[in-house]
Amino acid sequence: MKVKLIVAGVIIVGALVFGATTFIESNIEYMDFAKAETMTKKVQVKGTWLRDKESSFDAAKSQFTFYMVDDKQKECKVVLDGAKPNNFELATDIVAKGRYKDGYFHANEVLTKCPSKYEGSASAVKKSL
């Protein structure tokens, strides 16, 4: 009977440790590039794509490179593992998830926010009321 309790206790403690570790790893903070440079964990940086700067895809490395500027106007090179995201050219905002290293932001994921086709002007909404 005691063996069953010990095994059950070990399983419960293991599940709690696994859950806490998973939660901590999935909790990714938003910050700017300046603060991201000082962090060692994965972070998110919100900004806009600098269209006038070079952007390219390296097929041999499967990496998409572009430049973006964060909300505090700090410019940074971003290297994404993978191809250019869908609707990248239409994006009004970009969120890059990754780590700052080797003088650039190394992203594992890039999310794009595109303008909604359902948004209307405020005057059109007022007229309909």
Residue ranges per domain, the chain? 1-29, 31-113
Distances (CA, A) of 19 to 11, 29, 97: 12, 19, 22
What are 97-123's pLDDT values in tens digits? 999 988 899 999 999 887 766 665 555
pLDDT in tens, 82-94: 888 888 888 889 9
Q: Chain centroid to CA 23: how far?
A: 16
Residue 112 CB neighbours (<10 A): 17
Cα–Cα distance for residue pair 14/27, rounded to 1 Å: 20
Beta bridge partners of 106: 79, 99
- Please provide the average confidence, as pLDDT, over all residues in the chain: 85
What is the fold of 31-113?
OB fold (Dihydrolipoamide Acetyltransferase, E2P) (2.40.50)
- Is the pTM above the cut of 0.85? no
